[in-house]
Amino acid sequence: MSLLELESVGARYGPVKVLHEVSLTVGEGELVAVLGANGAGKTTTLRAVSGTVRRSGDVVFEGHKLPRRPEATARAGIAHVPEGRGTFSELSVWENLRLGAYTRRGKIRDDAKRVYAFFPRLEERRDQQAGTLSGGEQQMLALGRAMMARPKLLLLDEPSLGLAPLVVKEIFEALARMKEKDGISVLVVEQNANLALAHAGRAYVLEVGRVVVAGTSDELRANESVRRSYLGY
């Protein structure tokens, strides 16, 4: 059984329907990528899972249907790092991390230590306002905050957006380690298809709100049209 299952999920913004019958699965410990051009519905797919957009169809997590309330999604064990990272820019780094653990009871010092081990720079900036961090540091903070919740599934929206290649590398390496060490499953949206396929086991390609191709990373890399449209060689 998969951890997350989307069964013909649709979503709309007002009168505009942006997702049509999208079905996808994420298994335990899997890193799955969603690829596509601008406006294909990648971000909306994530938002449909976390319930921050009006949706139709079922989202099943660990065998239970998820209610369409972001708070409930978070409590069920899904951490969504949204577009633009969603850090609390007016709060300090440490306060951001505390908020990450909001749904949990008990001590959080150890979790914070784990986050600092992944991203030592966050520890140096512990009391600094999140808004004053660099883009890369903010992305680290967003990931760190998500880790604090000890989620079973991580939803990541364009983690590479606007970051220098070195920082992107650092972040994806951290992601890989998280997946290995904690068995977190990841559903990541990326425009940089090369990067995503290098790290993901499987991927879905969206075009105007529909899944047009799905398969393992190797299969997609071998697919003629995917290669031409998204990988650029």
Q: From its phi and psi, is residue 29 left (phi > 0), alpha (psi between -120 and 50) or beta?
A: left
Among 86, 90, 14, 26, smallest CA distance to 53 is for 14
State yes or no: residue 103 binds another protein (CB under 8 A).
yes
Place of tokens 């013909």: 8
Q: State the nearest-atom distance from the C-beta of 102 to another protein, in Å.
A: 5
Q: Choose, by CB under 8 A, the member of 37, 60, 99, 213 that binds another protein.
A: 99
Q: State the nearest-atom distance from the C-beta of 219 to another protein, in Å.
A: 32
Q: Which amino acid is at 174?
A: A
Where do runs of H (alpha helix) occur along 51-133? 70-76, 93-100, 109-118, 120-124
Q: Which amino acid is at 189?
A: V
Q: Which is nearer to another protein, 139 or 217 (CB)?
A: 139
Among 207, 220, 211, 171, smallest CA distance to 25 is for 211
Can you tell me the distance from the alpha carbon of 206 to that of 86, in angstroms, rounded to the nearest whole number?
24
Q: Which is nearer to another protein, 72 or 222 (CB)?
A: 72
Can you tell me the distance from the alpha carbon of 100 to that of 78, in angstroms, rounded to the nearest whole number?
11
Counting residues that bind another protein (by CB under 8 A) gives 25
Choices 13-21, 56-64, 74-82, 192-200; region in contact with another protein by CB under 8 A:
74-82
Binding string, residues 193-212; x marks residues near another protein by CB under 8 A: --------------------
Q: Choose, by CB under 8 A, the member of 95, 123, 182, 207 that binds another protein.
A: 95
For residue 28, what is the DSSP state?
T
Tokens representing 144 are 């760190």
Choices 63-71, 116-124, 183-191, 204-212; region in contact with another protein by CB under 8 A:
63-71
Q: Exposed, middle or buried, 107 (CB in 10 Å: 0-12/13-18/19+)?
A: exposed
Binding string, residues 110-149; x marks residues near another protein by CB under 8 A: -----------------------------------x---x
State yes or no: residue 178 binds another protein (CB under 8 A).
no
Judged by the rule CB under 8 A, the positions of this chain that interact with another protein are 50, 52, 69-71, 73-75, 79-80, 82, 86-91, 95, 98-100, 102-103, 145, 149
